[in-house]
Chains A and B, each alone.
Chain A
């Protein structure tokens, strides 16, 4: 649905987006993750035809964002980060105006407005001036606007920033619902945010793509190289020596307390079975054996810190 190839955007000498490639399939809900200033908004702005790329290309639903801009705009619903709205207009007036711009005739427009009011719970503010609305309602009006023409692709830039926890939960579940009918790409700098809503994550930092995959795949990648923890009743030296002889173990460190040796085993494969076997053979009591499961958060922080 979305195809991005070697996309770059330079502002003067600053590389906001540096050679990014990824694809988003139809019906997918993809999280675009990165710290502030990573180039998320710039990438989304290129995808929504707000600004042209310096190099590379992107297509949405088969249309090129530069050469077939109008067709792309017709299939994309976009919620910009700052949720820009006209404060002097009433919600209904605003949605009518937006409907006209999307080429909806009067009948289709009113039907679409009724649909998005329902979807985004706008009943109570539909006749109020937008300037008087709270941040949460403004966000919903922006979302309603993005949904108005029933776009095939939804691009949401930081859709939950500035909302209170209850609103964040409501927005998340709304986004998950929307993903049944639309392809969604949303950006965030908060990991639990995208982990909770997205099927796939794309992590970028300083304009470069650093990792992508489903949350499970990414977790797999970390735990693959993560450490094991074991606690055995045996002298420290014996335990460390024995463990080091196991294939796949790269480093062992341990300390002894009350006759129990607690070891940290660095390994690139899962050797828990071998450890259990070893303990049984040597007749060492084993009271703990587990993989030290790193959270995605650790991974995210590590990746971001690592590329810096």
Chain B
């Protein structure tokens, strides 16, 4: 675990040393701020809730989260530093976990300033704290799952832009497909899409509904992609 922590610290340092980190944070806060403004969440007479803002956030995260994790592993390959990493007493799993945790911590740092809207609502109104906190739990779980996918994308290539596209495009398509197609299919397909409907699952959280299978869905997705990432990193040794 100490090794994973060392990797995580280095990764965070790199994220905050590069402009990418700040651009991502600024972009995220700008768009969420804009959606607060456009949705008129603070208009007089409206219910004191961030639900309309939260509706758009998962879509935004499909492109933002892979941008956080895009450089983690692919940069090691491009730089050649993977060679020094893989010849120190550090297992592939520790390396992947360290990088994963760094991206996740960065995600939380990026998310944290949006709590300001909630605090403002508390000052000027009476928000539903239960629903809001469960919505934040939902965002966190989306981050947990999406980051693992972004990391997986990053392990496949040594080009950052490609890693970002490999991460965000499938996520976006997947989110769209499950969300928009679900009303048009019947039977077994409907059941399947219901299970993997990321946006729908998040919607439950933003309504204040924390279900076990919702939590398990995101955690299992994260575990799956972390496992695949470790396997990809391992397999690249053999080529």
- Chain A residues at the B interface, C-beta cutoff of 8 Å: 45, 48-52, 70, 73-74, 76, 78, 80, 82, 84-89, 93, 97-98, 100-103, 145
Contacts and interface: CB of A to CB of B under 8 A. Distances in A.
Nearest to B98: A101
Nearest to A77: B87
Contacts of B190: none
Interface string B37-67: 0000000000000000000000000000000
A100 B87 contact: no
A30 B74 CA distance: 35
A49 B14 contact: no
Interface string B71-107: 0000000011111111111110000000000000000
Contact of A70 (B81, B83, B89): B89
Nearest to B85: A101
B83 A88 contact: no
Contact of B6 (A51, A74, A85, A97): A97
Contact of B84 (A52, A74, A100, A145): A145
Contacts of A52: 237-238
B18 interface: yes
B3 interface: yes
Given A51-B237, A73-B87, A76-B87, 13 more contacts: A45-B83, A48-B87, A49-B86, A49-B87, A73-B88, A80-B84, A85-B79, A86-B79, A87-B79, A97-B9, A100-B2, A100-B5, A145-B84
Nearest to A49: B87
A101 B83 contact: no
B10 A73 contact: no
Contact of A50 (B6, B10, B83, B89): B83
A97 B80 contact: no
Contact of A78 (B14, B84, B237): B84
A51 to B, nearest CB: 5
B232 to A, nearest CB: 15
A49, A97, A100, A103, most chain B CB atoms within 10 A:
A100
B18 A88 contact: yes
Given A88-B18, A89-B13, A103 B80 contact: no
Contacts of B89: 70, 73-74, 101-103
19 contacts: A45-B83, A49-B86, A50-B83, A50-B87, A50-B237, A52-B237, A52-B238, A70-B91, A76-B87, A78-B84, A80-B83, A80-B87, A82-B83, A84-B80, A87-B79, A89-B14, A93-B13, A101-B7, A101-B89
B17 interface: yes
Nearest to A78: B87
Nearest to B3: A101
Interface string B147-176: 000000000000000000000000000000
A100 B10 CA distance: 11
Contacts of A98: 84, 88
Interface string B1-25: 0110111011001100110000000
Contacts of B6: 97, 100-101
What are the 7 A-B residue pairs with the smallest beta carbon separation, nearest first?
A84-B80, A100-B6, A84-B81, A88-B17, A48-B87, A101-B88, A73-B89
Contacts of A51: 237-238
Given A97-B6, A101-B89, A103-B2, A82 B237 contact: no
Given A101-B88, A101-B90, A85 B237 contact: no
A84 B84 contact: yes
A70 B84 CA distance: 13
B88 A86 contact: no
B71 to A, nearest CB: 11
Contacts of A145: 84
Given A80-B84, A145-B84, A86 B10 contact: yes
Given A70-B91, A101-B90, A86 B14 contact: yes
B83 A100 contact: no
A202 B9 CA distance: 41
A85 B238 contact: no
Contacts of B79: 84-87
Contacts of B82: 84
A51 B83 CA distance: 9
Contacts of B9: 97
Contacts of A89: 10, 13-14, 17
A100 to B, nearest CB: 4
A96 to B, nearest CB: 9
Contacts of B18: 88
Interface in B189-239: 237-238
A101 B84 CA distance: 11
A52 B5 CA distance: 27
A89 to B, nearest CB: 7
B237 A97 contact: no
